[in-house]
Amino acid sequence: MPAAKTVQSLHLWRLRPRERRSLLITGDILMGTLALLVALLFWAYADTTMEFSFEFLRRTPGWFFFLPLLWPFLMASTYEEHHARSLERTLRAIALAAIIGMGLYMFIYFTSEPKSLPRRGVLVFVLAISTLELLWRFIYIRIFTAPRFMRRVLVVGAGETGKIILRIISQLRTRPFIMAGIIDDDPKKIGTILDGYAVLCGSDKLLETILEHNITDLIVAISGQMRGSMFQALLDAQEMGVDIIRMPVSYEELLNRVPIRYLEADWILRSFVDEARVDAFYELAKRLLDILGGFAGVLMLLVMMPFVSLAIIIDSGRPIFYTQVRMGKGAQSYYIIKFRTMRQDAEPNGQPQWAEENDRRATRVGRILRKTHLDEFPQFINVLRGEMSLVGPRAERPELVQWFQQHVPFYRARLLVKPGITGWAQVNQEYAATIDETIEKLEYDLYYIKHRSLMMDIRVLQRTPKMMLGFRGR
């Protein structure tokens, strides 16, 4: 079919989100490999007693050769399209990755035996990877975000569902595609403007419009019954090589959230439960990660506890720790452990309250602990006990869970996994103080539950230090 070949040839360099992510990761590993070579060469020739040879490579610590693979984990937040397209966010991410990498290494260096670890090679690697990464990302932004490399999209349906996805697209700071317009079979809508985009035609002229506007994707935003002519036109478009995307899937790709406000009541059974299943290997790997992270967290807790305890006692007296009933996986209750940050009479009537910005109930030391999330370090004890995980939805009190269930759809689904010290919602959104913010946060939580994997857990953990350094706690 000539038309099919024409459309598919247009797709060659119009990369999909997953393809862009793969390109970025491949580029980062390549830059890491080049940085490793630079570091090894500098390390060898800067040492007058050594030269770059097989013997030098044999004497180099084995872990040094894995640094190029560690770098993508530190850059994980930039693999989302709206981050990758922003030079400002990329600069911040590179700087933060370099700081975190050097910070971790310095901690290991100063806690190891003297002269047991290299300094020169690691420093040169960090400088080289930061420079090369900046160059690579600048090339990516200049070339692969140009219009000729962007995918071109039509929204199918100008009804309420179509308006929702158009509103979301209009609010994005950086868009991963070019919006070409809308199609709808309602003659009254053809020629009208919705959120700045024109309703171009009906299904009878869909194939012509695809060729005219070089369309690569169709977002189907029809919530009601679809006409047979529209269905056939979509099949014909798919045969031409055009990607067909349902509105809920597009919503998830654009916002990294699940659209709970725009789906039918049986969605959680038809889609969420089926897609949220994970295999036993992931559960085992996650538990091992929790145990390792829990031990590391408890060690850091032991180091900071004398200083934090003294500050709390001087500021507001005892107790140092604060325990409270929270609801865990499967609605099982447990006692969460935190450093006390509130006054002793924070809830005199016993009724739970939402945390507020600059909460007046917090003590002076408590405000610092909450801003930096240092108050949550005792929860690593809950992780070792198996009551919590490193990554998961935020643990809530049973009273709040019961109230939210009555006002927020699908809220109970958060209890399908263990609560976490950090989570997808926590690194993407600040504290929720209203119903709308709670719904938005739940959308992030359900997205995590639906797509959870070891790689996603690592992405969350990688972004957590940025949240702490940003003083986003309340």
Pairing type for strands 193-194 and 321-327 reads unpaired
Check whether the bond before 348 is cis (ω within 30° of 0): no
> Is residue 339 domain-shared with residue 395, that is, in the same domain?
yes
CB atoms within 10 A of CB 395: 23
Residue 131: per-residue pLDDT: 94
pLDDT value at 271 more than 80:
no
Establish if 265 belongs to a structural domain: no
Residue 343: per-residue pLDDT: 77
Banded model confidence at residue 4, pLDDT cuts 50, 70, 90? very low
Establish if 223 belongs to a structural domain: yes
Residue 240: give its domain's CATH number. 3.40.50.720
> Is residue 396 domain-shared with residue 449, that is, in the same domain?
yes
> Is residue 81 domain-shared with residue 183, that is, in the same domain?
no
**Per-residue pLDDT averaged across 338-348, rounded?**
75
> What percent of the chain stands above pLDDT 90?
34
> Is residue 110 domain-shared with residue 197, that is, in the same domain?
no
Q: Which domain holds residue 137?
A: 17-144
pLDDT value at 455 more than 70:
yes
pLDDT value at 47 more than 70:
no
Nearest 5°: phi and psi at 78? -90, 5
> Is residue 451 domain-shared with residue 333, that is, in the same domain?
yes
Token digits for 163? 């308006």
Residue 2: per-residue pLDDT: 46
Establish if 9 belongs to a structural domain: no
Question: 97-106, 285-294, 429-438: which has the highest mean pLDDT?
Answer: 285-294
Establish if 204 belongs to a structural domain: yes
Q: Where are any strands of DSSP class E within 239-307?
A: 243-246
Least confident of 113-122, 156-165, 305-314, 334-343: 113-122
pLDDT in tens, 191-209: 999 888 999 999 999 999 9
How many distinct structural domains can be found in the chain?
A: 3
**Per-residue pLDDT averaged across 216-235, rounded?**
90
**Per-residue pLDDT averaged across 338-352, rounded?**
71
> Is residue 173 domain-shared with residue 322, that is, in the same domain?
no
> Taking each helix axis from N to C terminus, what angle separates 87-110 and 120-144, rounded to the nearest 10 degrees?
160
> Is residue 324 domain-shared with residue 400, that is, in the same domain?
yes
The size of the chain, in residues, is 474
> Is residue 339 domain-shared with residue 285, that is, in the same domain?
yes
The residue type of 191 is G
**Per-residue pLDDT averaged across 124-133, rounded?**
92
pLDDT in tens, 160-172: 889 989 998 888 8
**Per-residue pLDDT averaged across 39-51, rounded?**
72
pLDDT value at 468 more than 70:
no
Establish if 58 belongs to a structural domain: yes
| 251 and 259 Cβ atoms separated by less than 8 Å | yes
> What percent of the chain stands above pLDDT 70?
84
**Per-residue pLDDT averaged across 284-301, rounded?**
93
Residue 264: per-residue pLDDT: 58
> Is residue 370 domain-shared with residue 420, that is, in the same domain?
yes
Residue tagged 């006990």 (tokens): 385
> Is residue 124 domain-shared with residue 154, that is, in the same domain?
no
> Is residue 140 domain-shared with residue 189, that is, in the same domain?
no
Residue 170: per-residue pLDDT: 87
- Of 144, 162, 197, which residue constitutes the final position of a domain? 144
**Per-residue pLDDT averaged across 6-27, rounded?**
76
Least confident of 124-133, 297-306, 340-349: 340-349
Residue 263: per-residue pLDDT: 62
Contacts of 114 (CB under 8 A, 6+ apart): none
| 92 and 75 Cβ atoms separated by less than 8 Å | no
> Is residue 52 domain-shared with residue 156, that is, in the same domain?
no
- Of 144, 165, 184, which residue constitutes the final position of a domain? 144
Residue 387: per-residue pLDDT: 95
How far is it, in rounded angstroms, from Cα 289 to Cα 294? Answer: 8
Residue 113: per-residue pLDDT: 65
> What's the mean pLDDT when you consider all of the chain?
83
Establish if 266 belongs to a structural domain: no
pLDDT value at 372 more than 90:
no
